[in-house]
A and B are shown apart, each in its own frame.
Chain A
Amino acid sequence: MKTMKLIYPLAFALAFTFATTGCHNHKAVNVTPMPGENPPIVGGDTGGGTLPPGTPMNPDINPTNGAIATTDATMFDNMTEDRAALAAYTIHFAFDSTAIKSSEQSNLDAVAAALKSDPNLKLLIEGNCDDRGTEEYNRSLGERRALAAREALAKEGLDPSRVRTISYGKDKPADPGHDESAWAKNRRDDFVLLHPKAGT
């Protein structure tokens, strides 16, 4: 009975199709007009044509975003990146883990000490992953790793509002290889010291 209920609408649809397209059309009679350039979008059809170029990105278009005081992105404007200063203190993670291993604690201590030596300095933590995960999964995992270090530094007394995080997911491997040796190097937080630009 359930099946029959499904058949009747189909019979109507088919009967209509036969009535309109006909079983006798052995030569082409219905010429279908084709959409031209940039036709209106109907359903999933987005049409043909050439796209106009994108406008330049203007980060100030919607300046009301970014309102959490402790993480306001604008607090990190006018800083220069010093990648060398803390390069020796990169910390590494276990597979699919955001937990900071005890073996990494001395590196975190060194980073905290560097920041505490000068209150004008700020910190960028870059979270990274190995490539055994999908792209967005790794983008979130890398961010969580960077935030884990930020939280650990806060426990050491570093004001978290001086610390910004960025995740590169699996886009910036330290080692391009695809074995455990490379993966272990790629599951990491890099620390970048931020100096105030001269005159600011």
Chain B
Amino acid sequence: MNNHIPHPIKTGLPLFLALVALNFCRAQEEIIITQTGSFFGQKPIPVSLEGFTGEAEQVLKFDLYVQGFSFVTPDIAQYRISGSSTGNVVGQVTDAVSRQVKFSRSYAVASLRRQAHAFADDIVFAITGKKGIGLTKIAFKAQAPGGEGEIYVSDFDGHNAQAVTHDNAIVAAPAWVPGRLALYYTSYQPGNPDIFYHSLSTGQRSVIARFSGLNTSAAVSPDGLKVAMILSRGGSPNVWVCNADGTDFKQLTTSPEDESSPCWSPDGQWICFATKIRSRRVLARVPAGGGAVQRIPTSGVSNPTDPDWSPDGRWIAFTSQMGDFNICVVPAGGGTATVLVPGEHPSWSPNSRTLVLNRDTGWRQSLSVLDVMTKQVKDIGRISGNDSQPAWAK
């Protein structure tokens, strides 16, 4: 039918596999070929889970639920996941229709928990073609009722949480350096909200921005070389950018309004932030090298804040406030916003499918993980008074 298709693909077996692949990868196909609307509200993939117990079973259920799977009996499952978790995790995934084993694997060396996360990642990859999130980390702030708190890092599901700071000060807005075990965050420890760099591998901290007034909301560029932030040194909270080591500050916006929460486009060309234009709260973007500010429309919702650009470049997740806080998603160029679930401060997973967020659970903030396409959401165990401002390591 055309000359672009290599000859071997025209043979029978690959064509059969193409049909199988279409069936296997339907969820992923829909992401590629459909527009906003059908992207959200997808049905979870029904799987059965047999033979796992205790912590391993809990990990598998959590990881798969927040990546778009539901748990059913084997007779109605699309995939059967079976194995054991005594000593080490051993597992296999079988296509319930074709009865083909997609993979069979055993895990060793690390903790049972980590083995189960690795198996969950292999399941996600085998079925959806996406790299799973089981072995990723998040950073967040945990705050006492009086305002003081610490920065924490943990596994993406909240386990193995460790305090990064021990300053008993107001802290805010942790941000990862892409691909590195290092954070930027805001701390009031010096008596002013200042931005710090903190290497998690050495413990070394350094001051990045300590101007009079507000220094907050650091966001590291995808190449790790630049940091966007909010500084008020120009007379109003504006978007600034500097080198990763806190040199060569450049003011990108000059509006007299209170701007907040810059984030980077994955190609490093744009910085998206929240501001006010003609008395309306909006999202906007500015070229990372400087230039005109452009509005990003978020039709259908108002008071957008906390933008986070998906690593695949397609979406901006944000918080809308219309009485209550809601997690929303809009195409990165702007358009009609989709309201997902109640919550604040969304941060994308590395594979652009899942969000970590904080939400109100009786005047206390807790972290939750949300599968964007199925809207399946699970809470993470709370560390202290209020856990908020999660940032997913990428």
Q: Residues on A close to B: CB < 8 A?
A: 2-3, 6-8, 10-15, 17-18, 21-36, 38, 41, 43-48, 50-59, 61-62, 64-66, 68, 71-73, 75-76, 96, 98, 132-137, 139-141, 143-144, 147, 164-169, 171-172, 176, 178
In angstroms, how far is the closest chain B Cβ from the Cβ of A151? 8
Q: A10-B22, A28-B91, A50-B162 are in contact. List 4 more A-B contacts (CB 8 A).
A: A10-B21, A134-B261, A136-B261, A139-B172
Assess whether B257 is interfacial by the CB under 8 Å rule.
yes
Assess whether B39 is interfacial by the CB under 8 Å rule.
no
Please, how many angstroms separate the alpha-carbon atoms of A18 and B95 in the complex?
13
Assess whether B250 is interfacial by the CB under 8 Å rule.
no
Partner of A59 from the list B153, B190, B216 (CB cut-off 8 Å) is: B190
Q: Which of chain A's residues have a CB closer than 8 A to the CB of B230?
A: 136, 139-140
Please, how many angstroms separate the alpha-carbon atoms of A71 and B192 in the complex?
13
Q: Knowing A32-B107, A55-B205, A132-B321, say if A165 contacts B33 (CB, 8 Å).
A: no
Q: Contact: A135 with B212, CB < 8 Å?
A: no
Please, how many angstroms separate the alpha-carbon atoms of A13 and B349 in the complex?
24
Q: Contact: B187 with A135, CB < 8 Å?
A: no
Q: Contact: B212 with A73, CB < 8 Å?
A: yes
Partner of B104 from the list A8, A27, A34, A133 (CB cut-off 8 Å) is: A27
Q: Contact: B14 with A25, CB < 8 Å?
A: no
Sorted from nearest, which 5 A-B pairs have the closest CB atoms?
A: A44-B350, A34-B110, A11-B18, A144-B258, A52-B203
> Taking each of A54, A56, A58, which has the highest tally of chain B beta carbons within 10 Å of its own beta carbon?
A54
Q: Contact: B13 with A57, CB < 8 Å?
A: no
Assess whether B198 is interfacial by the CB under 8 Å rule.
yes
Please, how many angstroms separate the alpha-carbon atoms of A176 and B303 in the complex?
24
Partner of A25 from the list B101, B111, B115 (CB cut-off 8 Å) is: B101
Q: Contact: A137 with B306, CB < 8 Å?
A: yes
Assess whether B102 is interfacial by the CB under 8 Å rule.
yes
Q: Knowing A31-B107, A44-B392, A54-B205, say if A141 contacts B136 (CB, 8 Å).
A: no
Q: Knowing A141-B258, A144-B236, A166-B213, say if A36 contacts B166 (CB, 8 Å).
A: no
Q: Knowing A46-B137, A73-B212, A166-B192, say if A57 contacts B350 (CB, 8 Å).
A: no
User: Closest residue to A27 on the B side, CB-wise?
Assistant: B104
Assess whether B77 is interfacial by the CB under 8 Å rule.
no
Interface residues in B, total, Cβ within 8 A: 116
Q: Which of chain A's residues have a CB closer than 8 A to the CB of B76?
A: none
User: Closest residue to B163 on the A side, CB-wise?
Assistant: A51
In angstroms, how far is the closest chain A Cβ from the Cβ of B266? 13
Please, how many angstroms separate the alpha-carbon atoms of A65 and B32 in the complex?
46
Partner of B363 from the list A50, A53, A178 (CB cut-off 8 Å) is: A178
Q: Contact: B90 with A28, CB < 8 Å?
A: yes
Q: Contact: A76 with B345, CB < 8 Å?
A: no
Assess whether B25 is interfacial by the CB under 8 Å rule.
yes
Q: Which of chain B's residues have a CB closer than 8 A to the CB of A29?
A: 104
Partner of B325 from the list A58, A75, A134 (CB cut-off 8 Å) is: A134
- Chain B 1-38, CB-CB to A under 8 Å as 1, else 0, gives 00001000100011101101110110001001100000
Q: Which residues in chain B, 97-118, are within 8 Å of chain A measured between CB atoms?
A: 100-111, 114-115, 118
Assess whether B200 is interfacial by the CB under 8 Å rule.
yes
Partner of B203 from the list A18, A51, A137, A140 (CB cut-off 8 Å) is: A51
Partner of A71 from the list B122, B129, B202, B212 (CB cut-off 8 Å) is: B212
Assess whether B208 is interfacial by the CB under 8 Å rule.
yes
Q: Which of chain A's residues have a CB closer than 8 A to the CB of B330?
A: none
> Taking each of A21, A47, A140, which has the highest tally of chain B beta carbons within 10 Å of its own beta carbon?
A140
Q: Contact: B135 with A45, CB < 8 Å?
A: yes
Q: Contact: B17 with A21, CB < 8 Å?
A: no
Q: Knowing A10-B21, A15-B17, A144-B257, say if A41 contacts B211 (CB, 8 Å).
A: no
Q: Which of chain A's residues have a CB closer than 8 A to the CB of B363?
A: 178
Q: Contact: A62 with B207, CB < 8 Å?
A: yes
- Chain B 383-394, CB-CB to A under 8 Å as 1, else 0, gives 000001100111
Please, how many angstroms separate the alpha-carbon atoms of A73 and B193 in the complex?
11
Assess whether B165 is interfacial by the CB under 8 Å rule.
yes
Q: Knowing A6-B32, A25-B103, A34-B110, say if A51 contacts B164 (CB, 8 Å).
A: yes
Q: Contact: A62 with B21, CB < 8 Å?
A: no
Assess whether B361 is interfacial by the CB under 8 Å rule.
no
Q: Which of chain A's residues have a CB closer than 8 A to the CB of B193?
A: 139, 166-167
User: 21 A-B Cβ contacts within 8 A?
Assistant: A10-B21, A26-B92, A26-B104, A44-B133, A45-B137, A52-B200, A53-B166, A54-B166, A57-B196, A57-B207, A59-B194, A73-B192, A133-B303, A134-B305, A135-B344, A140-B237, A143-B237, A144-B236, A167-B193, A167-B214, A178-B363
